[in-house]
Amino acid sequence: MFIFALSFQKNMNDSFQLLVDYVISKVNERLQPVSEQNTQLRKALPPKELRSKLDLQIEQKAISPDQLLAIVQEVVAYSVNTNHPYFMNQMFGKMQPIAFLADVLISVLNTSMYTFEVAPALTLIEKETIGFLASKIWGEGIGDGVFTSGGSMSNMKALFLARQSKFPHIKNKGFFGEKPIAIFISEQAHYSFNKGVNFMGFGTEALVKVKSKSDARIDLNDLNEKIEKSIADGKIPLMLVAIAGTTISATYDPIDEMASIAKKHNMWFHVDAAFGGALLFSDAEKHKLKGIEHADSVGWNFHKAMGMPLTTSSFLTKEKGELNEAFHVSADYLFHNDDDDYDQGQKSLQGGRRPDVLKLWMSLKYQGESGFKQRIEALRNRAVTFAAMIENTPHLELFQKPDSLIVCFRYHPQNVSIEEANQINIKIRESIFNEGNIIFNYAPLHDKIYLRCVILDPDYTDKLLKGILTTVIEKAQKINLKLESKI
List, for the chain, all residue ranges whose pLDDT scores fall below the cut of 70.
Answer: 1-13, 35-38, 338-340, 481-487
Name beta bridge partners: 124. Answer: none
Over residues 199-244, the pLDDT tens digits come to: 999 999 999 999 999 999 999 999 999 999 999 999 999 999 999 9
The pLDDT score that the predictor gives to residue 338 is 64
Res 172: pLDDT = 86
pTM of the prediction? 0.94
∠ at Cα 380 (378, 385), nearest 5°? 95
Cis peptide preceding 461, ω within 30 of 0: no
Can you give the pLDDT at residue 414? 85
CA 446 to chain centre: 22
Nearest residue to 92 via CA among 345, 311, 355, 316: 311
Q: Contact at 8 Å (CB) between 253 and 240?
A: no
pLDDT recorded at residue 38: 61
Q: Is the dihedral of CA 210, 211, 217, 220 positive or negative?
A: negative
Task: From residue 105, give the alpha-carbon distance in Å to each of 28, 93, 110, 354, 358.
Answer: 16, 20, 8, 11, 9
Distance CA 241, CA 295 (A): 9
Domains of the chain: 14-32+43-79 (no CATH), 103-364 (3.40.640.10), 368-486 (3.90.1150.170)
3-class SS of residue 301: strand
8 Å CB contact between 387 and 407: yes
Task: Give the DSSP H/E element, type plus range, for residue 164.
Answer: helix 151-166
Identify the pLDDT of residue 44.
86
d(CA 342, CA 167): 27
Please provide the distance, in angstroms rounded to a whole number, between the alpha carbons at the two ends of the chain: 56
pLDDT at residue number 487: 43
CA-to-CA separations, 122 to 368, 374, 486, in angstroms, rounded: 19, 27, 64
